[in-house]
Structure 1
Amino acid sequence: MLTDFGVFPLKPAIPALSAYLILRSAGRWSDVFRLAPPGVGNVSGNKSGDGVGEAVLGRSSSNQIVLQSERASRRHARIFWNSGDRDGEGSGWMIEDLGSRNGTTVNGKQIDSPVLLSDPSTIELAGFSITFSHRIDVGGIDSDGKRVSADASATSDDLTSEFDASAITDRRAESRYLDVADGNTHGQASQTSGRLLSLAFALARAADFDQVIERTLEAIDDHRQIDTAGVYAIREADHANLESELPLVGTRQHGPRSYRRAPESLIAIVSADGGQATLARNVLGDSNLATENSRGEIEVESLILAPVRSSDGKLIGLIHLTTTAEQPPLNSDDLEFIVAVAQILSESLRGVHQRSELNSSLKQSRRKVELLQQQVGQNNRMIGRSAVMVEVANKIKLAAPTSATVLVRGESGVGKELVASAIHHASDRSEGPLVCLNCAALSPTLLESELFGHEKGAFTGATDKKTGKFEAADTGTLMLDEIGEMSADIQAKFLRVLEGHAFERVGGNKSIKVDVRVVAATNRDLQAMVAEGKFRQDLFYRLNVVEIVVPPLRSRPEDVMLLAKFFLDRFKKETGRKIDGFTDQARNQLTAYHWPGNVRELKNVIERAVVLNTTNSVDSQHLMLTATSNPSSSPDASTSATGTMTIAELEQSHIEQVLRQTGGNKSQAAKVLGIERSTLDRKLKRWANQ
């Protein structure tokens, strides 16, 4: 609002003799009327801008300023230009009361004879407060330099001012066309509301920011004849931080005249906090309200400048319309329409900005997903060119697209979980979750809870409801490692779920049905366990639909250096170390080593070599391999491996040797072996029972 602005001095082009009557009713802005002495034209010489020399205020419709109030007389007061003496002494604008019933006051004093108006002066009559000034921006200041407060006793009639063709401004904060409670559905109002409804639908269907602006200008053009129109708005990229003026994003013009930006002082007034849409008429030659063309002329006869604000009141745009003397001047109905357009445009821009932010967020998410997929792909790569690994890769390729249950067999550390992950990500369930669980690491009670979940209070320590792995893996893949360690009771319940039956959480009675593909893994001979009665035969057949045997690393020595280089590149990147590769001695030691811990042990060896390395290459001293398992340094081990010992006996011998070297420290031994502590405990327990 004008009341919220500081001082904006008039441009030098406006004669100092010109003045403004800034009207308010009950503390509200109403209109502004421009005064110009007789014969004083604008700087461009347009005669239509010459002043009339006086303004009569009152209730009569023939007055220059019409006051719709019962407290106003028909001709209440007159403001006129006094040319003074021959030298111009005493010239200026004067006011006189025309015998009104309720009188006229100037700066708090009732007048009974003509009074010379100073700048600024406060005129009060018929419930209206009018500020006289040569500066349009001081309208909200009284004679004491204070803000003028609202008149609480003013009626709704007092709040309305009408102007004839010579009145120049009117303001609106909201449009009655968008007021559902208004009930105005007939005639011109109904037609205008229809246009606004069509605009709302058009903007809702707009694909992007530019289309929103273009359709807004089309709606304005369809509403009435204009000379020029411009729309200013914050684009998506500018929305976060607008440091400069609002950018012009669209224009519309008719005839030879091109669009010209409104004066900065007027834009500042309308753009301020609380600033309202402004209608200005009879503004020919006034550079406070219109901009000169290339010939230095001001051709604008009427204009509308409306702010576009977000829901929190922040300025996000402007709509600017102008007409010339050849066109009907803009009126209050036009102002109502443009205010409604600004409100619709605000909502549409909010939607555009939100879609832009969502699209940006979606692009970032897609980039992250692509990066994660690349990382997953790297982690799921089956490294190896040996014939046995080619066979494994072919089986994965054939099994992945199906829904068949897969049984993955192999020693600890060969990469059984990696096979399960490769199957999942190559299947149509790749968008779903991949959930892994080691059955050997849990007691039967805890394993049942982990698989199927439990209800609160189902057993001691069940303080909350727990979702099981089957529920967590719904629409995805559940990988169960060490399936041979599952107890008989859980095997029976597990089999029912595999056959498609529903299950209940531990301590619950609600049936739960899930869509899960199971990939089971084990390093034990399940057929032998079936023969011994330790594993259900029907469950074995249900699991063993597709069997994939992952060979130990010692049976594919040609893959050792491929894997070593793969792990070296990964850990170089993670640690930032600059290591070129392996020395010949390190290569010989890696290929000659027996690798009882398989790929997991190789991974740990390379990671340790990178972390503890201060040179630019990995040498044998960095590998820290167990000498007793190295065929190159132990003839007995070589002989054992080739003839006198089985693989199981060799594994047991090696583990016992490592335990002796670590003084019986199982955690340290497991770390050296490259296996989990729970796996080591299970192996020792099995050997103790033999």
Structure 2
Amino acid sequence: MPTELQTQEAGTAFAVHDAAHAFLVIHVEGEERGSRVVDLPDGVDVTFGRSRGATVHVESEKVSRMHARVKRIGDVIEVEDLGSRNGTRVNGEKIEGILRVATGDEIAIGSILAVVGVTSGLRRSSPIADDVRGESRLVAEVDRSVRYHRPLTVGLVRIANDAVADAMARSLRPMDLMAEDAGDDYLVILPELTRSEGAEAMERLLDFARGAGVTAKAATAQCPEDGTTYETLIGAVRASLRTGRSPRDTATAPKTANEPIVLDPAMRRVYTLVERIADTPMTVLILGETGVGKEGVAEAIHKKSSRRDKPLIKLNCAALPETLLESELFGYERGAFTGADKRKVGFFEAADGGTLFLDEIGEMPLALQAKLLRVLERKMITRVGGTTEIATNARVVAATHRDLEAEVRVGRFRQDLMFRIGGFTLVVPPLRDRAAEILPLAEHFASLTASEQGRPVPALAEDARAALTAYAWPGNVRELKNAIERALVLCGEQITMADLPEKLRDAGQRVRPVAPAADMRGHLAEVERAAIVTALEAEDQNQTRAARRLGLSRRALIYKMEKYGLKPPPSRAE
């Protein structure tokens, strides 16, 4: 089976069709590992099996000679198991007979994973999605990338020309998505593209701007290497766009020695415990939701210990497949596997005398958990492909957002390893329970971002303060940082509620007195109209700048201006 990805140029042909277009994104594991896109034409069977006559042919003992077929009739897409030995699964559930599927459904056929995709017939008139759809799609793609260890490029392009932005969006492959982010920034989601392929795809988008003589800039980040959550990836690509450095350069750039902001009593207790355990040899387990600042606590443990002058090495256990994770942890000898042309020192050796931070340890495969347990007990490692034992003196600090006791009960985590890494356990509370820290953290992130942009630090307006404190922060500190970075793209001398993401603006509205339920719709319209009038006045009636201040595209602002009688609609003669 071919392993090449469908090219960007081929995807362009699909993107300009007015009719809906259906396709399958095929991933194959094992010796024939690779990906491609297969069209689903109306009325044509797409078959899977070992037979040379199958549309998708793969040599695998798990796949029957003619295993399954997918067929599209109009808007209906169905999958049928053809009496296979091992069965066909849709979204993890074994099917019997024929089952109707929809876009996003995952069909598992032995070593084959086929993801159903459908592009809307409205794509021509609306090539750019809104920010809500962009966020939900990126969350789904990040989950798929991490779960199946597939590459994902996340891009951000800044361009102040709607026509060129539309042309960029129309040129993308059917599986890709371009969505509004903030002001003149657009999010670009490129599944199944490696870092180099993603960079090339973004360069092709910039060619549209160059051809039109329009200024544009772009940046990319890679999942899982640069992050394994929506918040980390969007933060990485925004930082890259601001600074002009790649996410890897940004991650390794020297950081200012800022002390953590600790105002909440629960956080004070955490850092009091950090002081007490920092200079002990025991392993430490840090628990907390995604984005609460577990890495910052690990850094504090290292800085306050006698190991502070030795390396602090960080490894995200969710970012790598099992085989690569083992070689990264323990290193490998020359000839250990194909491509191992020289000896490589692993993270344990690199952290010798210092601290090894294992983030998301709850994602570590069971087989590797057993090897890690032996290393922690014996203080000895063996490189992959080697026989010599090497002493290690790295202190291990681990972190996870998972409930490890629950993971132990269902058999996904070893109980003996949980006890071993939990020599001392710290629990970092979520940001919603640390209300006293929200505004100081927001001001801190505003100061850092303004410094990077070489601009004065904007103040937080009262309505922005109310919205920030009213919001529940499910993404915690990382989400707050992203929200402030986005606001600095939009704001003037102050960060107002209009500069914040929509879900924060909604939280800000809920803390205000509102009209009775019967008048709710009119009240919301009044609030929106007033916000538009304020933004236009602040920007001397410049619609582009007003749209940026409101976090809208220019076309969305014009639509709302016409809706509220702030701009006459275009005449039919025009």
Under TM normalisation by the shorter chain, which class is it? Answer: 0.3 to 0.5
With the length of structure 2 as denominator, give the TM-score of the two structures.
Answer: 0.44
* Structure having the higher Rg: 1
With the length of structure 1 as denominator, give the TM-score of the two structures.
Answer: 0.36
